[in-house]
Amino acid sequence: MQLFREIGLLSATLLVVGNIIGIGIFTTTGLIAAEIGNSPWLLGVWILGGFLALIGAACYSLLSRKIPQAGGEYAFLYPTYGPFAAFLAGWASLIFGFSAPIAAYALALIAYLSPLLPSGLFEHSLIQKGTAGLILLGISFLMVLGLRFGSRFHSAITLLTLGLIIGFATLVLLRTPVLQNLEPILAGNLSPDLPALGTAIVMVMFAYSGWNAAVYVAEEIRRPAVYIPAALLLGTVFVTAIYVWMNLAYLGAQSLTQIEGEIAIAEITALAAFGPEGRVIVNILVLFAILSSITAMSIAGPRVYFAMSRNHLFPAWLAEVDEERRIPLKAICFQTAVALLLVAIGTFRWLLISSGFILLLFSTLTVSTLFMVRKEKDNPYFWVLHRFLPGLFVLINAVVLAVVLVSAVASNPSETIAGGVTLLVALPVYFYYKGKQKNL
């Protein structure tokens, strides 16, 4: 049941980057523009979102030094809040954190792949789901070839994605009247409507979710006390820079009135900069971003179930490590099977609607464990690191959680209830394995 340390700093950092960058950066800016209007806050919210993610990364860095174990929130919550809270966090990771997003991304991959192939090929939903399932099986096959191969494959895909994103944004900035379009924004209102600004920040924070990816594979990263904090912080800073650069391209390519409320912001920008060929460019760009996200989650997620199984709170076989491939092989296959089931069912929109609130709740609870750390007399930064930063993170997240919950209940009440019920399903599972644990 021992994992092997084969992930270096670059691979760990790219795991964080790949886990953060998803569809959000390609769809969110137009919605934010509709909320805020002409204001420097159109760029400011992305810088602020990066800062908030960086606070979370700093807090998780401290936790990873104290608890250098695989499993993410599950591993951090177990010693402080006990097995029940940890199990719920692990269950949330299985359903809301990894399997549902992987299934959704696989189906989204088909949607962006379809325009690049002969028309009508993916016309039927059965073909869409079947192809999405084959893609997941293909990625899973690559992941089970071994940790070293899987992490290198993910690193290569992520580096290619980053190159495409940076190249796309740079070319847009060179081919469009950037200064003309940015001038009214930078000279705009510095005091926008606070509820609108809050809504924008919530959207941005979800685009930054995934900054904690390295802690899930804590037992497979070399020099964990150094490389885990470095990967979390470097990955978050780098993604913040990428996001700001992309938004400069979005806001500089056309006037604000052309993008307000538009979800297809990347496509609109590409059409303005490259003409009709822009659609193809964006589809390729998003395809690689989605592939990077799926591979990142395929690496990170199974380590949660491995950790739960090692503590006898999940099926014992999930803790088995393939000595030759040096991976929790059965845990990887287990996550793929759950994701395939969700693809086949195809009705899991309610899981995605609930996921933001539930995952944010557990990350907030995780950071709150830093309050339990006793004061270190020899550490002059103790108050800042173990009280101020966690307090700020918990306070901001509490406000965001309240906003998200009110919004979800008002706009999607049935989906919100379904998400809560899915979390409650964990209760009989927990008590079953807790009972077995006592008999060991």
Where residue 95 sits, what CATH number does that domain have? 1.20.1740.10
Confidence of residue 350 (pLDDT cuts 50, 70, 90): low
Do residues 140 and 334 lie in contact, with contact meaning Cβ atoms separated by under 8 Å? no
- The rounded distance, in Å, linking the Cα atoms of 223 and 228 is 8
pLDDT digit string (tens) for 296-315? 999 999 999 999 999 999 99
Say if residue 352's pLDDT is above 80: no
Say if residue 40's pLDDT is above 70: yes
The more confidently predicted of residues 125 and 21 is 21
**pLDDT at residue number 436:** 82
Q: Which of 285, 403, 355, 395 lies closest to 35, judged by CA?
A: 403
The domain total for the chain is: 1
Decide if 398 is inside a domain: no
**pLDDT at residue number 440:** 67
- The arithmetic mean of pLDDT across residues 258-269, rounded, is 89
Decide if 431 is inside a domain: no
**pLDDT at residue number 406:** 83
Confidence of residue 250 (pLDDT cuts 50, 70, 90): very high
Decide if 360 is inside a domain: no
The more confidently predicted of residues 5 and 203 is 5
**pLDDT at residue number 348:** 63
SS3 326: coil
**pLDDT at residue number 144:** 94
Mean pLDDT score of the chain, rounded to an integer?
90
- The arithmetic mean of pLDDT across residues 307-326, rounded, is 94
- The rounded distance, in Å, linking the Cα atoms of 61 and 214 is 10
Decide if 356 is inside a domain: no
- In one letter, which amino acid is 145? L
Say if residue 375's pLDDT is above 90: no
DSSP string, 26-75: HHSHHHHHHHH-SSTHHHHHHHHHHHHHHHHHHHHHHHHHH---SSTHHH
Q: Which of 52, 46, 93, 42 lies closest to 70, judged by CA?
A: 93
**pLDDT at residue number 287:** 93
For the whole model, what pTM was predicted? Answer: 0.93
Decide if 383 is inside a domain: no
**pLDDT at residue number 23:** 86
- The arithmetic mean of pLDDT across residues 184-191, rounded, is 87
- The arithmetic mean of pLDDT across residues 42-53, rounded, is 93
- The rounded distance, in Å, linking the Cα atoms of 393 and 212 is 14
**pLDDT at residue number 347:** 64
- Lowest mean pLDDT, pick from 250-264, 271-285, 302-316, 365-379: 365-379
Decide if 389 is inside a domain: no
Give Cβ neighbours of residue 49 (< 8 Å, ≥ 6 apart). 201, 204, 205, 207, 208, 240, 243
Say if residue 118's pLDDT is above 90: no
Give Cβ neighbours of residue 384 (< 8 Å, ≥ 6 apart). none
The more confidently predicted of residues 72 and 128 is 72
Do residues 285 and 116 lie in contact, with contact meaning Cβ atoms separated by under 8 Å? no
Decide if 362 is inside a domain: no
Structural domain harbouring 154: 9-347
Q: Which of 138, 166, 168 lies closest to 153, judged by CA?
A: 138
Place of tokens 């807090």: 59
Say if residue 246's pLDDT is above 70: yes
DSSP state of 374: P
**pLDDT at residue number 437:** 77
Say if residue 270's pLDDT is above 80: yes
**pLDDT at residue number 123:** 76
Decide if 394 is inside a domain: no
